[in-house]
A and B are shown apart, each in its own frame.
Chain A
């Protein structure tokens, strides 16, 4: 059979496409839920109308986005059984539990309270309505945690034994699965990345309006919130990424070596910035690197030994039998770089923005602005950026909204492809995980159908987002400013139209 169209290859493409696509929406959902909740909290506490307008604006974009996150998640849940039935049979005893926890605890939370929040503006008292969006936010974070614990078990299986008689892995310690260091590090890293994504999205959209001098009051608040989020998340990403890297170095040496295209193990291993190599011969022909840095990243010591691809491959052959235990090196290598590059670029843009738009610190009186003015971009004391550079910063800030999305995608491609040929590291190989009973035609139909559907929906979604971004924050109505005092709504006027309807 043509290998490029073998059911396993197609199933892997489908998993990759579905996961990367799903994860365009997930981090925005996680972060925008919390940021919208924060803005609504500010409204409830200060009664400053700009916060309510911001809540409505970002809330709308959040809803457009979460709709896609929810529906693409359905496929994630069922494709294990559809395309990976041998995987499901082998690890269901362990892997199924966090998925069930996710559904029963997090999905119900999210979906029920999002309904209450969307339709609840004129049905719930202010504070209860606010609590609903916080519940949604908690739901999104719990959901992320459970699914990341499940994924971490694939990266580093713990708390299980192999039952030879039944031919499957069985859970022995669920708590360990939920709290192993891989899960903690991965959740920390992924959640930080989610907030970088939402923060950068906010920065980009706010910059778009401020650049055109529109909706200044609301967008200035949004810009600030976005920038602060980006900077805090950016720092947390560096810390958590470092932790995760060290965990990976111990648990999946092959992935670490592949990430660096480090062919042969060495002391004081360098961090490669650029490399071009020959996979079949197992070496790089061109390489640009920082000496010792990889050893430091892996083990906190510039002189530590880092095993290479070739030695790790030999070690795994001895442990698991003959075979090629190398992932696709160029993909792993470049994915790692795109992840870091795009992630750190938006962090840097955020950091620069926070400094340039500062309100008072090191800023002379005449450069401070009122509430309805676009901030000056001030580089040094007394010295604003030139018009040209200022314009450039706003444009870069607008584009930064895409950077974390790119970084996230490459991050997942790196961590999943870097684990190959294993689906569960050291336990089950991907080629033994596919559904034996599903035909090539069936998987092909499925890949084509989902990919086409995702493409169409992506166009629809992006256009809709663009429309609502352009429209800006809505004007407030009487109903917005006079929320009900009773659950179920006040019965002042039985025929009054609903505040929100589909």
Chain B
């Protein structure tokens, strides 16, 4: 296994980390409209992710930075090619970050409602667009011999990629619902479990079609295994949810995300961004990667820093392990 293969795996790990973590906080953001009945319940939801969403988002920044360093050509083609969708995602992430931090800093009804609406939309839109982006990466887009994206915006909005968007949107909502069931107490916990069932069933149907489509188009033996794991974990997560085993349900929906993203990367390899115009113009792990020296330094960095990050981020979740209910939200806290 050469270093650029290692980095292909590490980039996959970073995206898995990002979708696993930000996945549920996107989901919780979406649930503020789907699940919460009043303002205190909205606040319960927002506060389940309050201490952690920012750290979750850094997985994206790291995935971006690591792609820049390890696969500069991939970074350049992807971000200049998917320009407008990425712009929308960035705008959402900006507004979303500010919304969490500023929402409770003024008591006015209007102010709080506006930021709450912002949290909903800026969670929903990226949750959808990331799926569209990955659908396009896996399917292949119009890349010319200079590795430039030469398609249009409309080329990115094809049925396969849009289905991918619906899968991430529903999967993250499901992931958020089981997370809510795990982290809250009281009435909202029960309703989160009920909602998780329905969202989970829709997710399962959409994911099955999308993953099968991927498997038929570009899959191999390994990706088939990952696909089976993803679907099985989703079914098991639903079963655990029905049985009231919330910890298991959350872990298993996490496994679903892990296996589904792994499947996409497996069906991609050794390409990182296939060209739909000419297979010779595809970006691959070898023609898109940095020099061995840079990859070596990056590997040392990842080997030392990533476990540490997981350790102290994990510790954060342990510090804030208590469930939250409406009784824990102080009237005047802001």
A interface residues with partner B (beta carbon < 8 Å)? 63-64, 67-68, 70-75, 77-78, 80-83, 85-86, 88-89, 91-97, 99-105, 107-108, 111-116, 118-120, 123-124, 163, 168, 170-172, 174, 435-438, 442, 445-446, 449-450, 453, 457, 460, 464, 467-468, 487-489, 495-502
A464–B51 alpha-carbon span in the complex (Å): 21
A102–B320 alpha-carbon span in the complex (Å): 26
B291 to A86, Cβ gap below 8 A?
no
Give every chain B residue within 8 A of A97 (Cβ-Cβ): 69, 294, 297-298
Contacts A78-B79, A108-B55 given; indicate if A92 touches B87 (C-beta within 8 A). Answer: no
**Residues 67-125 of B contacting A (Cβ, < 8 Å):** 67-73, 75-81, 83-84, 86-87, 90-91, 93-95, 97-98, 100-106
Min CB distance, A432 to chain B, in Å? Answer: 13
A497 to B328, Cβ gap below 8 A?
yes
Contacts A64-B102, A104-B309, A108-B62 given; indicate if A437 touches B50 (C-beta within 8 A). Answer: no
A118–B88 alpha-carbon span in the complex (Å): 29
Give every chain B residue within 8 A of A78 (Cβ-Cβ): 64, 79, 86, 90
B302 at the interface (CB under 8 A from A): yes
Stretch in contact with the other chain, from B161-169, B175-183, B271-279, B311-319: B311-319
A168–B94 alpha-carbon span in the complex (Å): 33
A7–B307 alpha-carbon span in the complex (Å): 42
Contacts A82-B80, A120-B319 given; indicate if A103 touches B58 (C-beta within 8 A). Answer: yes
Main secondary structure of the interface of B (DSSP, over half): helix
Min CB distance, B142 to chain A, in Å? Answer: 10
Give every chain A residue within 8 A of B104 (Cβ-Cβ): 501-502
A88–B71 alpha-carbon span in the complex (Å): 10
What are 29 residue pairs bridging A and B, where the CB atoms are less than 8 Å apart in the complex?
A64-B102, A67-B98, A70-B97, A81-B80, A82-B80, A92-B76, A96-B75, A100-B62, A103-B64, A103-B66, A104-B66, A105-B305, A108-B305, A111-B57, A112-B58, A115-B55, A118-B51, A120-B51, A170-B290, A171-B294, A172-B293, A435-B80, A438-B80, A450-B91, A457-B94, A488-B322, A497-B330, A502-B101, A502-B103
A113–B316 alpha-carbon span in the complex (Å): 8
A101–B294 alpha-carbon span in the complex (Å): 12
A100 to B83, Cβ gap below 8 A?
no
A398–B61 alpha-carbon span in the complex (Å): 37
Q: Nearest residue in B to A114 (C-beta to C-beta)?
A: B54
Q: Nearest residue in A to B152 (C-beta to C-beta)?
A: A439
B333 to A501, Cβ gap below 8 A?
yes
B68 to A92, Cβ gap below 8 A?
yes
Contacts A64-B105, A89-B76, A488-B319 given; indicate if A103 touches B94 (C-beta within 8 A). Answer: no
A170 to B293, Cβ gap below 8 A?
yes
B216 at the interface (CB under 8 A from A): no
B66 to A86, Cβ gap below 8 A?
no
The 5 nearest A-B residue pairs measured at CB: A92-B72, A81-B79, A96-B69, A96-B68, A497-B330
B101 to A64, Cβ gap below 8 A?
yes
A453–B319 alpha-carbon span in the complex (Å): 35
Give every chain B residue within 8 A of A501 (Cβ-Cβ): 43, 47, 50, 104, 328-330, 333
A112 to B72, Cβ gap below 8 A?
no
Min CB distance, B10 to chain A, in Å? Answer: 10
A71 to B319, Cβ gap below 8 A?
no
A478–B318 alpha-carbon span in the complex (Å): 25
Contacts A81-B68, A498-B333 given; indicate if A464 touches B102 (C-beta within 8 A). Answer: yes
Give every chain A residue within 8 A of B148 (Cβ-Cβ): 85, 436-437
Contacts A171-B291, A495-B327 given; indicate if A100 touches B84 (C-beta within 8 A). Answer: no
Give every chain B residue within 8 A of A453 (Cβ-Cβ): 91, 94-95
Q: Nearest residue in A to B102 (C-beta to C-beta)?
A: A464
Q: Nearest residue in A to B42 (C-beta to C-beta)?
A: A502
Contacts A435-B80, A496-B328 given; indicate if A123 touches B58 (C-beta within 8 A). Answer: no
A487–B318 alpha-carbon span in the complex (Å): 9
B301 at the interface (CB under 8 A from A): yes
B65 at the interface (CB under 8 A from A): yes
Give every chain A residue within 8 A of B298 (Cβ-Cβ): 97, 100
A445 to B54, Cβ gap below 8 A?
no
Give every chain A residue within 8 A of B324 (Cβ-Cβ): 498
Give every chain A residue within 8 A of B150 (Cβ-Cβ): 437
Contacts A78-B79, A81-B76, A94-B294 given; indicate if A115 touches B65 (C-beta within 8 A). Answer: no
Q: Nearest residue in A to B287 (C-beta to C-beta)?
A: A166
Q: Nearest residue in B to A68 (C-beta to C-beta)?
A: B98
Min CB distance, A83 to chain B, in Å? Answer: 8
Give every chain A residue within 8 A of B86 (Cβ-Cβ): 78, 82
A468–B297 alpha-carbon span in the complex (Å): 45
4 further A-B pairs in the complex, CB-CB below 8 A; given A82-B80, A103-B64, A437-B150:
A92-B68, A108-B313, A116-B316, A437-B148
A485–B237 alpha-carbon span in the complex (Å): 37
Q: Nearest residue in B to A442 (C-beta to C-beta)?
A: B83
Contacts A103-B62, A116-B316, A487-B319 given; indicate if A170 touches B291 (C-beta within 8 A). Answer: yes
Give every chain A residue within 8 A of B57 (Cβ-Cβ): 111
Give every chain B residue within 8 A of A102 (Cβ-Cβ): 65
